[in-house]
Structure 1
Amino acid sequence: MEFVQQKRGMTAEDLYKLNSVNDPQVSPCGTKAVYVQTSIHEEKHQYISNLFLTDLEKNISSQWTYGEGKNTSPRWSPDGSRLAFISDRSGKNQLFLMSASGGEAKALTKEHLSVSQPVWSPDGKKILAAISLAPDDKLDKEDRDEKKLPEPLVVEDMRYKSDAAGFVKNRKRQLAVVDVKTGKLELIGSREFDYNDGAWSPDGKSIAFTSNMTDDPDQTLISDVFILSLETNEQQQLTNSNGFFGNLSWSPDGSCLSFFGHEKEFQSATFSKIWLYKMETEELSCYSADWDVHISDAVVADFISGSVNPGLIWTEDSQGFYFILTDQGNTGVYYGSLEGQTLPVRFEQEHVYGLSVHPGSHTAVLGISSPDHPCDLYFFDFSTGENRQLTNVNDEFLQEIELAVPEAIKWNAEDGLEIHGWIMKPVGFKNGEKYPLVLEIHGGPHAMYANTYFHEFQMLASSGKAVLYTNPRGSHGYGQHFVDQVRGDYGGSDYTDLMSAVDYALETYDYIDKDRLGVTGGSYGGFMTNWIVGHTNRFKAAVTQRSISNWISFYGVSDIGYYFTEWEIGGNLIDDFDKLWQHSPLKYVTNVETPLLILHGEKDYRCPVEQAEQLYIALKRLKKETKLVRFPDANHELSRSGHPKLRIDRLNHIKNWFSEYL
């Protein structure tokens, strides 16, 4: 008798066993690709990222860098003979260079600088890179006394902290040109402003970048596109200081500069569009003005590490381009021509999170994830339709795992609007049995759940829970009007959308126990979890994560609070105090009867921990069932890129709370 191995469900700790592959880069010759593979060292609880090379003709991959640090952002030299990449092996992210034939990597930048986003010059002699500098920082050496006494932080700007970087301390993001031969750095532009999204012109004579050079950047929240002439040092502004733009790329013939962005028509809910600037006529036009879709990847997930927005990828003849598009719970690849013809070249029930295209052969390497396949890289020939899988980074481990496969659902909300979502049966599902259901709510709110792998969902499904996750109004992927409907109405129709999802699930699936319902979410999903338990007692357990509970205090303490509150809620602390309180879950805390677990990172500057503290103390003062878990040194990205052990702890707290109360 043949022995059949009994499969098990996914656990929180299985994050240690999964690998992520990302940022594929096809070589200039089109026969090879380099990519980043990330894993977690289980004993040291640290991320390890190394570069791998794959032969696209033979489907053979080999490891290129080693060690227990992070090696990321690989970029081929124009002739394909060298590879630039970023490594933290010296303690900070530095720019390294190595031969494409192998050998030891050479550091090009100094250890006191933190470098990112390398871009080769067309002649291969220089590399453009991003660095962060304070006014007194030097390029050539460390000019600080590590033993100096502490000094107060003097704040004069409204945006003085960042969830990603902490206190800015007057630092500006700069672009520097690195000489490949000597390692000498030369800044472009002025240290007075931030510079981002650097892109060389094909002739190497100019650099395009984005910046906010208005008189008062705190009050004028924009990102303009500029072109700087390296010969004359003159710069030209291409956009009108009325929107956000980025992801710059030149056509190979230099006739056109492309970028993504929008003119803030719907503030933070505005779809990203494709823009083209023609150099000869100095004409700026919106290529996708009439499209009711979001350009780029708007998917929210908790596993794939190091995703990179590839922007617009031009073809060799400068007559067309490829790009990623978000729609209806999926992302895929589209082709567009300068004549205005567009067509999908890869759009399936999946999440395309990585893209690199060889401009001459129209072949590509894609990173793809689906709910029951965490991630892998695939080769595609857009001309012939040939496609094949290049990596199998999790196949061996997944042979012992039973993954839940979601079912896509659609229903009509209270006002008749069609809403899209998914439901997962528990792992080991048996007909005739009743199961608890957990409603998951994504953050943003302008993001999208999708046909992608989500570790938290799989863990809950393996613990005997059905999982319901949806894209209520405010989500990307369903049109500009849909994504804008939540603004000024937090806790209104978005709340009834979510309740209609639960109603639909209970009416449609007889295996759900209506008396064992749970709800959880993070960021905006945490706000909505707080709102839900203050407005209904139908849920028997809730977990709120990195949440907002009080829009009044949020206004002054978040790194985005002063403008995000105005854009999303429609009011400010000075003129609209009552409106902010009306939309604050804390106002309704006396109504809460649902046991509520509160999870929050200590260094979350996006939704600061005081939001959790207020909610927790108010609930305890009222003798409600609650618990607060604070994660040291964790920011808003805890669930996605936080310390591995804390990510595991977070997942287990969620699982255990629902197991206890459901």
Structure 2
Amino acid sequence: MTKRAITTEDFMKLEVFSDPQFSPDGASYAYVSTRVNDKKEYESNLFVQSLNSEKAKQWTFGPHNTSYPRFSPTGKYVVFQSNRSGTSQLWLLPLDGGEARQITTFKNGAGNPEWSKDGKYIIFSAQLEEGDDVTNQKELTKEEKQKQKEENSKKPLHVKNLRYKSDAQGFLDDKKSHIVLYDVEKETFTQLTSGDFHYGYQDISPDGKTILFAGNLNEDNEYELKSDIYALNLDTKEITKITDGEGSYYTATYSPSGKKIAYLGHKHEYLNATLTKIYLYDVETKEHTCLSEGWDIQVGDMIAGDTRLGTSESGPVWSKEEDRLFFIGSNLGATNLYEVNLSGEIKERYNVDSHVFGFTYDPNNNSFVVGVSTPTVPCNFFLLNEANNVKQLTDANRDFIDEVEIGTPEAISFKAEDGWDVHGWLLRPYGFEEGKKYPFVLEIHGGPHVMYGQTFFHEMQLLAAKGYVVLYTNPRGGHGYGQEFVNACRGDYGGGDYRDLMAAVDYAVETYDFIDKERLGVTGGSYGGFMTNWIVGQTNRFKAAVTQRSISNWLSFYGVSDIGYFFNKWQHGYDLLDDPKALWDISPLKYADKVETPLLILHSEQDYRCPIEQGEQLFVTLKHLKKEVEFVRFPGANHELSRSGKPELRVDRLNHICDWFDKYL
């Protein structure tokens, strides 16, 4: 029987897994499952599955966002965070039976809970204002929140800081992220950090005497894009800076003995195009060692997609013997599970041309539960034992997979004009027939320092289902192909990266005779939106274009984006005051009079990363020039609309993209 084609609404039928966590005895694991409910809202709940069972057991229920399950070392409790009370708070679930009880009632919520190694304490993060008392926190009622919202809407926003807004959080206030300790037996709270700084909890030493946190405690921190690892002595309250103050360092974790600390980061050698490195710190000798010296892979998961919800562990994680570290790395369009010994020798533990989006390690058996997505399967968990044998644990979205036609992308590789190898994938249209000509869409990723890869991507599958050949590639500037490659677009936006994309189209048209070269379309978001705007101002070979959350004017981007004040300097080598003409020369808006391609502009009203004025400028200019252009503004959405925006708005967005290409291609 022929399977049906994928539709715009189908992403709402998917179950998305994240954050696997082994139980202390290694016999089972918990995880988070997120889906869109009947009210077309996201809900996430906790599940647990025995390694000897084919079916998981649901732990939490209801239309809430529940996440971050963490087993106590004794196996007696699971702590998790949930907004079931109206604000994200911490809840404690006894594993010998009984209901979960709420343990925090903080006014601004609580999250990211972790246990001390002896299981006596839970350490978590809370947004606190100056003078807040953690021993007397009261969560606001629904009515109090509404009243506060109404009062705030009548007040002017008094801005004093350079960083006063964030795409993720909106307009920022004076609250700071602090670290709080909860005594499970005494049911008391102790604030561990203080002052006008943000503190990011990292780990607690095995002896319970020291915590690690990441942050910037310099007085000029709002002007510095740096982060260090610090140690806080819980007895003396003395803070010691561990890293050198010259870069960005994070994800620090103690070895099982507490003698060493592993952490990630870099010294900004290539600014935000620098590959992340793995470092070791010897607690006794104070010596730092870079384990990844000489590597040319990116530590961490850099794959772009639209069906990943929730966070997951990517490492580094210590082995039981303290002789190895495990982590996820991005390489050649895939993410793999790696291990590295303390001499820096690296080897792959799991590599099947897929997207490893998270893992959990069981020191009892030296085994892993690995979360994996592939281009044809949205997500599943697998057990990877010490001998590298693999056992599938889940069969998520089976009904969906059996019902719809999911295309398998064909990997392509070609030479750019200067000899660089460029990698990508091509999807054939639904119901493909030999001898027939099909319209074509080029997809361009954002970042630019991310990568397309071996993961399930609903938007790509949808366009193929609508009858398009879909090409998505990793032009220079993307991760996964080494330090020189990821740095190659800096100072050259619209140069080599543009030529790579045009070479990709040339290769596809010349190689696949079923592509109708008279019906080519292009789309992309963020950096991909910039590049879409750039392309239509440089060439008329595309008959339709859709630009999303884009950049059209680097001059104004400097002052309106939440990252503009440093992004221009880091990516182009100059900012507004250094060389306004140079910024204007690489601004797509400058070339608006040359645009002949019908252009659809999609933008979110609350996008603070690429603010909507970028779309407005482009629309007004093109419309004033009587070009073929339309503008769609999405209310209440930010830069993340395509990935985690309101489901109904995501459907609208996809429908607009498909309708535009249907109209012109």
TM-score by length of 2: 0.97
Instruction: Note if 1:141 corresponds to 2:145.
Output: no
Q: CA deviation at 1:657?
A: 0.8
CA contact (8 A) 1:259 1:311 kept: no
State the partner residue of 2:645: 642
Q: Could you list the runs of 5+ residues in structure 2 that have no partner in the other structure?
A: none
Q: CA deviation at 1:113?
A: 2.6
Instruction: Note if 1:318 corresponds to 2:314.
Output: no
Q: 1:367 to 1:465 in 2, by over 3 A?
A: same
Residue correspondence of structure 1 range 650-661 to structure 2 within 5 A: 650-661=653-664
Residue correspondence of structure 1 range 351-370 to structure 2 within 5 A: 351-370=355-374
Q: CA deviation at 1:136?
A: 5.1
CA contact (8 A) 2:81 2:111 kept: yes
| Candidates 10, 15, 33, aligned match of 2:11 | 15
Distance 2:547 2:188 in 1: 49
State the partner residue of 2:491: 488
Q: 1:136 to 1:152 in 2, by over 3 A?
A: farther
- Does 496-505 or 148-157 show the bigger shift? 148-157
Instruction: Note if 1:121 corresponds to 2:143.
Output: no
Instruction: Note if 1:199 corresponds to 2:203.
Output: yes
SS of residue matched to 2:281: strand
| Candidates 206, 221, 235, aligned match of 1:217 | 221
Instruction: Note if 1:34 corresponds to 2:49.
Output: no
Distance 2:235 2:369 in 1: 36
State the partner residue of 2:304: 300
Distance 2:631 2:188 in 1: 50
Q: CA deviation at 1:395?
A: 0.5
State the partner residue of 1:112: 107
State the partner residue of 1:582: 585
Distance 1:539 1:476 in 2: 27
Q: Which amino acid aligns with 1:31?
A: A
Q: CA deviation at 1:198?
A: 2.6
- Does 491-500 or 121-130 show the bigger shift? 121-130
Q: Which amino acid aligns with 1:456?
A: E
Q: CA deviation at 1:386?
A: 2.1
CA contact (8 A) 2:114 2:123 kept: yes
State the partner residue of 2:80: 85
CA contact (8 A) 1:22 1:37 kept: yes
| Candidates 59, 82, 86, aligned match of 1:64 | 59
- Does 105-114 or 532-541 show the bigger shift? 105-114
| Candidates 212, 216, 223, aligned match of 1:208 | 212
| Candidates 232, 254, 258, aligned match of 2:258 | 254
Distance 2:131 2:579 in 1: 41
Residue correspondence of structure 1 range 429-448 to structure 2 within 5 A: 429-448=432-451
Distance 1:59 1:335 in 2: 28
Q: Which amino acid aligns with 2:505?
A: V
Instruction: Note if 1:45 corresponds to 2:40.
Output: yes
Q: Which amino acid aligns with 2:552?
A: S
Distance 1:642 1:442 in 2: 18
State the partner residue of 2:162: 158
CA contact (8 A) 2:25 2:364 kept: no
CA contact (8 A) 1:542 1:595 kept: yes
Q: Which amino acid aligns with 1:80?
A: G
SS of residue matched to 1:437: strand
Please give the per-residue CA displacement for 1:93-144, whole angstroms capped at 9, x wherever unaligned. Answer: 1011101234311111105232221110112121111122233545323598
- Does 460-469 or 99-108 show the bigger shift? 99-108
Residue correspondence of structure 1 range 409-428 to structure 2 within 5 A: 409-428=412-431
Q: Which amino acid aligns with 2:419?
A: G
| Candidates 532, 535, 540, aligned match of 2:535 | 532
SS of residue matched to 1:49: strand
Distance 1:182 1:92 in 2: 24
State the partner residue of 1:465: 468
Q: Could you list the runs of 5+ residues in structure 1 that have no partner in the other structure?
A: none
Q: Percent identity?
A: 49
- Does 515-524 or 187-196 show the bigger shift? 187-196
Distance 2:570 2:344 in 1: 33
Please give the per-residue CA displacement for 1:153-188, whole angstroms capped at 9, x wherever unaligned. Answer: 222211111111111112212111122234433222
Distance 2:181 2:108 in 1: 14
Q: 1:503 to 1:120 in 2, by over 3 A?
A: same
Q: CA deviation at 1:148?
A: 4.5
Distance 2:447 2:374 in 1: 21
CA contact (8 A) 1:540 1:661 kept: yes
Q: Which amino acid aligns with 2:388?
A: G
Distance 2:588 2:133 in 1: 47
Q: 1:138 to 1:645 in 2, by over 3 A?
A: farther
CA contact (8 A) 1:596 1:625 kept: yes
Shift >6 Å, 4+ stretches: none
Please give the per-residue CA displacement for 1:185-231, whole angstroms capped at 9, x wherever unaligned. Answer: 32222231110143111111110010111221122210000000001
Please give the per-residue CA displacement for 1:423-471, whole angstroms capped at 9, x wherever unaligned. Answer: 1100110000000110000000000000110000000000000100000
Q: Which amino acid aligns with 1:212?
A: N
SS of residue matched to 1:57: coil
CA contact (8 A) 1:109 1:183 kept: no
CA contact (8 A) 1:542 1:597 kept: yes
Distance 1:138 1:561 in 2: 36
- Does 74-83 or 152-161 show the bigger shift? 152-161
Distance 1:181 1:646 in 2: 46
Q: CA deviation at 1:539?
A: 0.3
CA contact (8 A) 1:353 1:369 kept: yes
CA contact (8 A) 1:330 1:349 kept: yes
Q: Which amino acid aligns with 1:558?
A: S
CA contact (8 A) 1:134 1:169 kept: no
Q: Which amino acid aligns with 2:4?
A: R
Q: Which amino acid aligns with 1:310?
A: S
State the partner residue of 1:168: 172
Distance 2:260 2:81 in 1: 29
- Does 154-163 or 129-138 show the bigger shift? 129-138
Distance 1:488 1:174 in 2: 38
SS of residue matched to 1:339: coil
CA contact (8 A) 1:426 1:462 kept: yes
Distance 1:598 1:184 in 2: 53
| Candidates 379, 389, 392, aligned match of 2:395 | 392
